[in-house]
Structure 1
Amino acid sequence: MSCAEFSSQRGSSTVAATALVIAALLLAAGILAWSAVTRAAMQAASAADLAALAAADTARGLRAGDPCAAAGLLASANEARLESCVIEADGTTVRVQVSVAITFSALGIEFPAASAQARAGAPPLTQH
């Protein structure tokens, strides 16, 4: 092989290493983004469940106050925002929807908020 053949390959390992580093950084950013979205979705589901239970207990008279105010208080305590609260016709069953902001600022990517719904009410009257 002549020197001319080697000189045409000069710098190719730098390009390959740079591409490998960029790919690794993009993979890490993707994993972090997925982690942030998953965490927010799980947090929203938990907050919705707890808010619905608190609202249902209040609607049934087990706690004093307004059912939707109780749901909002519990949602905010779990870093969620109460989007809707509906007391069903029976007066003891409540449906809530909450949202949780997804906090991931790497690469300037913005995600919509994670949301979850839950329904809670009185236990069934018959036992099996």
Structure 2
Amino acid sequence: MAAPPALAADAGGATVFACVALAGLLGLTLVIGQVGAVVVARHRAQAAADLGALAAASVLTEGADVGCAEAGEVARRMAVRVRRCAVEQWDVVVVVAADTSFGVFGVRTVSAAARAGPVEESG
């Protein structure tokens, strides 16, 4: 039995729509996954900056160079690089950077900064 002429023109339209919708959802899933990877890299960089600043501040009595070397060691172990390590009196500021792949959009650099030093009392 043949399909009526009105239905024959629409044959396969739902299949094409479903394929296009599925391709769009797959593309959106990949983009969300890549954004998630960049967010994770940013958090890893912030953790490295925090730990590097604390490590540097903990050995600051031995000198600024020793403190910055300690921050560099922590950064190396966390797979980031130190962009800047500055010591001013008893405060240490560490800025780190990490490269992360953003899929087809290339490689992006994420950075983070942290400060460690004595607590300032107010009041």
TM-score of the superposed pair, with normalisation by structure 2: 0.84
Flag the structure with higher strand content: 2
Note the alpha carbon deviations across 1:15-63, whole angstroms, 9 max, x for none.
Answer: 11111111210221122012101101110110000011111122233x9
Match of 2:40 in 1: 39
Q: 1: distance between equivalents of 2:11 and 2:36? A: 40
SS in 2 for 1:79: coil
Counterpart of 2:22 in structure 1 is 21
What are structure 1's unaligned runs of at least 5 residues?
none
Residue matched to 1:73 = 73
The aligned residue for residue 99 of structure 2 is: 101
Aligned-pair CA distance for 1:127:
9.6
Map 1:89-128 to 2 at 5 A: 90=89, 92-105=90-103, 108-124=104-120
One-letter code aligned to 2:39 = T
Structure 2 unaligned spans of 5+: none
Distance 2:57 2:97 in 1: 19
- How far does residue 5 in structure 1 lie from its aligned partner after superposition? 1.4
CA RMSD of aligned residues (A): 2.4
CA–CA distance in structure 1, aligned partners of residues 84 and 42 of structure 2:
17
Match for 1:120: what amino acid? A
Moved over 6 A (4+): none
Equivalents in 2 of 1:104, 1:80: separation in Å?
Answer: 17
- 1:46 and 1:60 map into 2 onto residues whose CA distance is 23
For residues 120 and 66 of structure 1, the distance between their equivalents in structure 2, rounded to whole angstroms, comes to 15
Q: Is 1:58 matched with 2:59?
A: yes
- Would the aligned equivalents of 2:53 and 2:94 in 1 still touch at CA under 8 Å? yes
1:115 CA drift (Å) = 0.8
Match of 1:83 in 2: 83
Distance 2:44 2:84 in 1: 17
In structure 2, C-alpha distance between the alignment counterparts of 1:41 and 1:60, rounded to whole Å: 30
Structure 1 residue 104 displacement after superposition: 4.2
